[in-house]
């Protein structure tokens, strides 16, 4: 199976007689609504029939040029880059299907995919199209973004696929290196896709598992996945070379996350994640009830989640927790209480949170409990009431990234088929006279604002390792322009490099993503907001008696922190106070 390109090649020169006048007219037209844009494109149809797509029009502008900047031209098309309005461009890639250490009964077991993913999910489809090759996934996703007018200079790389920590170390190094290689090549205008995709990736022919059968996901995959292909090996030295290249690349990795299980987070694993360049870890906590975890065969207890979060927090990682409602043994009332504990308990209090109401699919072992009547899905009104309460209870320092899995309706045996649950829950909050104050709901996105009107807000709260300071610049309407997470640990970290240091865990400025050094009026990025936040964190660290400030920088942000006076350590950057 050859890797499928995201779209067929389009050569603007072949359409110059028709496309160039359309581009010129769009460049001089000013702001257009959808109807006016439709009229213009219909006046300049393709000779062979049909209309030029927005991506083809953009390709034409890039080939022929114009009297306005590319960003202004994109504004003419009203192509506001919604996906990149959080300040970075997210690129999600999936590891290949691989045996999983878990035995969770709620988990989909689609052997064509990494554990817990289904072939119909958009990200999973892209991964399969590219044979789960990290280079192809990364390069082609960047190409798709650029063709639609999105910036690709500052990339948040999100590696998904079951339990990352269960993969062999050589595969982890190789996978990460090839993602960096794709970033480096794409930014330099190098297309290395012809040399990628050598590893076998033919999982589509495997027969799907029925959750009522005795066959198991791991049994099917052991024969096809555990032995690494010759190409799936890289050394730490090779990875470090790719990382150093990325420090000055056009497309830089400004954030790197992996997902794993709490019982796999040892101190050694934390240090390995950091050496790979990780800055965030997605952790499947799922429930804060030992009874519920046991009933669902999760394979670890709540104490394991506490240990994992403490280790990751002590090492400076951003914490992205997964929590599930409607598991076997739970009720709407117990779920509401369980969710409340996430933020009441200092051992948890994550920075980001995914809420996954349980959706039953045929490959999950939960099918047996469902057919016996031991498990039932909450009906939509009950689920909506629960989610609205969860959203209202999410504090301003946490980003609620998701409230439902992106499963196709035909895959769901039992559970909600409502795709816009978040929107409906927000409406319910408005009806109740409440609102959601989480980060995602307050992002300034593409809105203009007066920098002089920004005010600094601070939320201080206790965690398992010390005191957390969440600093944010907000508008008078409480729209978020940028934030910083500062950890003031009360005891020595197991990471020797971080002993007796205050720790910057995240600095993030919102607004449409801009290239390093690029400035635009009324856009939050590159206006000094990040520097001001770091200065405030520095002052707080000094007042608290710390002699050093350390930062868990991404590979692509090392240069930024060097400019602020930080010096390179082994795994972190440091500044003497």
Positive or negative: CA dihedral 288, 293, 298, 301: positive
Let me know whether 247 and 365 are in one domain: no
Over range 515-521, report the average pLDDT: 53
Q: Give the pLDDT of residue 203.
A: 79
Q: Give the pLDDT of residue 176.
A: 98
**pTM beyond 0.85:** yes
Q: Give the pLDDT of residue 1.
A: 37
Confidence check: pLDDT of 376 > 50: yes
Which contiguous run of DSSP H or E holds residue 484? strand 480-489
The count of residues in the chain is: 577
Residues with Cβ within 8 Å of 526's Cβ and at least 6 positions away in sequence, in order, are 509, 514, 516, 517, 518, 519
> CA 239, CA 134: separation in Å to the nearest integer?
14
Give yes or no for a contact between 56 and 14, defined as CB atoms under 8 angstroms apart.
Answer: no
**Best-predicted range by mean pLDDT (13-22, 177-186, 525-534):** 177-186
Domain that holds residue 50: 12-79
CATH number of the domain bearing residue 428: 3.30.750.200
Let me know whether 383 and 529 are in one domain: no
Let me know whether 293 and 413 are in one domain: yes
Of residues 267 and 445, the one with the higher pLDDT is 267
Over range 52-62, report the average pLDDT: 78
> CA 298, CA 295: separation in Å to the nearest integer?
8
* Residue 224, both tokens: 């096809």
Q: Could you tell me if residue 266 is inside a domain?
A: no
Q: Could you tell me if residue 1 is inside a domain?
A: no
End of a domain among 226, 260, 294?
260
CA angle 238, 553, 474 (to 5 degrees): 150
* Residue 90, both tokens: 């997210």
Q: Could you tell me if residue 212 is inside a domain?
A: yes
> CA 556, CA 389: separation in Å to the nearest integer?
38
Q: Which of 70-84, 400-414, 532-546 has the lowest mean pLDDT?
A: 70-84
Let me know whether 95 and 68 are in one domain: no
Confidence check: pLDDT of 24 > 60: yes
Over range 11-21, report the average pLDDT: 83
HSE-CB at 499 with a 13 A cutoff on CA atoms is 5
> CA 524, CA 510: separation in Å to the nearest integer?
6
Q: Which residues pair with 354 in a beta bridge?
A: 322, 402
Confidence tier at 75 by pLDDT (50, 70, 90): low
Give yes or no for a contact between 99 and 218, defined as CB atoms under 8 angstroms apart.
Answer: yes
End of a domain among 231, 260, 289?
260
Count of structural domains, the chain: 4
Let me know whether 464 and 428 are in one domain: no
End of a domain among 29, 54, 79?
79
Let me know whether 64 and 158 are in one domain: no
> CA 311, CA 322: separation in Å to the nearest integer?
17
Q: Give the pLDDT of residue 207.
A: 72
Let me know whether 21 and 102 are in one domain: no
> CA 352, CA 343: separation in Å to the nearest integer?
11
Residues with Cβ within 8 Å of 334's Cβ and at least 6 positions away in sequence, in order, are 289, 292
Q: Could you tell me if residue 265 is inside a domain?
A: no
Confidence check: pLDDT of 514 > 50: no
DSSP string, 77-108: TT---GGGTTSSEEEEEEPPP---S---TTS-
Let me know whether 524 and 391 are in one domain: no
Q: Could you tell me if residue 5 is inside a domain?
A: no
Confidence tier at 506 by pLDDT (50, 70, 90): very high
Q: Could you tell me if residue 190 is inside a domain?
A: yes
**How much is the mean pLDDT over the chain?**
89
CATH number of the domain bearing residue 508: 3.40.630.30
* Residue 7, both tokens: 């779209």
Confidence check: pLDDT of 28 > 80: no
Confidence tier at 147 by pLDDT (50, 70, 90): confident
> CA 378, CA 382: separation in Å to the nearest integer?
6
Let me know whether 330 and 295 are in one domain: yes
Q: Could you tell me if residue 523 is inside a domain?
A: yes
Let me know whether 67 and 96 are in one domain: no
Let me know whether 402 and 464 are in one domain: no
Q: Could you tell me if residue 301 is inside a domain?
A: yes
Question: What is the edge-to-edge ordering of all strands in the sheet holding 548-551?
Answer: 455-462, 466-474, 480-489, 502-509, 548-551, 573-576, 567-568
Give me the phi and psi of 386, to 5 degrees please.
Answer: -65, -45
Let me know whether 289 and 396 are in one domain: yes
Give yes or no for a contact between 9 and 63, defined as CB atoms under 8 angstroms apart.
Answer: no
Over range 66-84, report the average pLDDT: 63
């Amino acid at each position: 199976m050859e890797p499928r390109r995201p779209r067929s090649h389009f050569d603007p020169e072949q359409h110059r007689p028709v496309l160039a006048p359309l581009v010129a007219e769009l460049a001089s037209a000013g702001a257009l609504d959808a109807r006016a844009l439709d009229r213009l494109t219909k006046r300049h149809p393709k000779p062979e029939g049909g209309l030029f797509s927005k991506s083809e029009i953009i390709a034409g502008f890039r080939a022929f040029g114009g009297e306005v900047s590319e960003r202004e031209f994109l504004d003419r098309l009203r192509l506001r880059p919604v996906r990149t309005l959080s300040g970075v461009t997210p690129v999600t890639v999936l590891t290949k299907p691989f045996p999983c250490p878990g035995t969770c009964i709620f988990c989909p077991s689609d052997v064509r995919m990494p554990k817990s993913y289904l072939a119909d999910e958009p990200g999973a489809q892209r991964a399969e199209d590219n044979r789960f090759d990290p280079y192809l996934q990364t390069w082609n996703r960047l190409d798709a973004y650029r063709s639609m007018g999105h910036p690709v200079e500052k990339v948040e790389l999100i590696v998904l696929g079951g339990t990352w920590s269960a993969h062999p170390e050589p595969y982890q190094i190789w996978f990460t290196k090839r993602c960096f290689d794709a970033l480096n090549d794409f930014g330099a205008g190098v297309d290395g896709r012809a040399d990628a995709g050598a590893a076998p990736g033919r999982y589509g022919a495997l027969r799907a598992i029925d959750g009522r059968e005795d066959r198991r996901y791991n049994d099917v995959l052991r024969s096809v996945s555990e032995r690494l292909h010759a190409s799936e090996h890289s050394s730490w030295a090779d990875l470090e070379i790719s990382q150093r290249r990325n420090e000055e690349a056009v497309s830089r990795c400004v954030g790197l996350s992996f997902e794993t299980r709490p019982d796999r987070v040892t101190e050694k694993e934390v240090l390995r994640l950091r050496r790979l360049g990780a800055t965030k870890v997605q952790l499947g906590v799922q429930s804060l009830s030992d009874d519920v975890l046991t009933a669902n065969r999760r394979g670890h207890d709540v104490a394991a989640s506490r240990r994992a979060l403490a280790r990751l927090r002590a090492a400076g990682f951003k914490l992205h927790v997964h929590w599930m409602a409607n598991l076997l043994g739970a009720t709407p009332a117990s779920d509401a209480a369980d969710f409340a504990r996430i933020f009441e308990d200092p051992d948890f209090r994550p920075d980001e949170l995914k809420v996954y109401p349980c959706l039953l699919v045929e490959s999950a072992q939960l099918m047996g409990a469902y057919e016996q009547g031991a498990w039932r899905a909450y009906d939509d009104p009950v689920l909506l009431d629960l989610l609205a309460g969860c959203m209202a209870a999410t504090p301003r320092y946490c980003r609620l990234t998701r409230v439902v899995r992106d499963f196709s309706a035909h895959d769901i045996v039992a559970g909600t088929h409502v795709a816009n649950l978040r929107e409906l829950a927000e409406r319910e909050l408005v009806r109740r006279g409440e609102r959601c104050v989480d980060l995602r709901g307050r992002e300034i996105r593409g809105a203009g604002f007066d920098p002089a009107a920004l005010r600094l807000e601070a939320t201080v709260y206790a965690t398992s390792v010390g005191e957390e300071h969440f600093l944010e610049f907000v508008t008078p309407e409480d729209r978020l322009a940028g934030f910083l997470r500062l950890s003031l640990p009360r005891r020595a970290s197991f990471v020797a490099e971080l002993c007796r240091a205050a720790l910057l865990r995240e600095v993030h400025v919102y607004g449409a993503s801009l290239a390093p050094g690029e400035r635009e009026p009324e856009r939050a990025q590159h206006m000094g907001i990040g520097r001001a936040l770091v200065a405030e964190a520095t002052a707080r660290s000094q007042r608290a008696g710390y002699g050093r400030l350390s930062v868990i920088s991404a590979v692509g942000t090392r240069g930024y922190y060097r400019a602020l006076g930080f010096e390179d350590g082994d795994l972190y950057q440091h500044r003497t106070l």
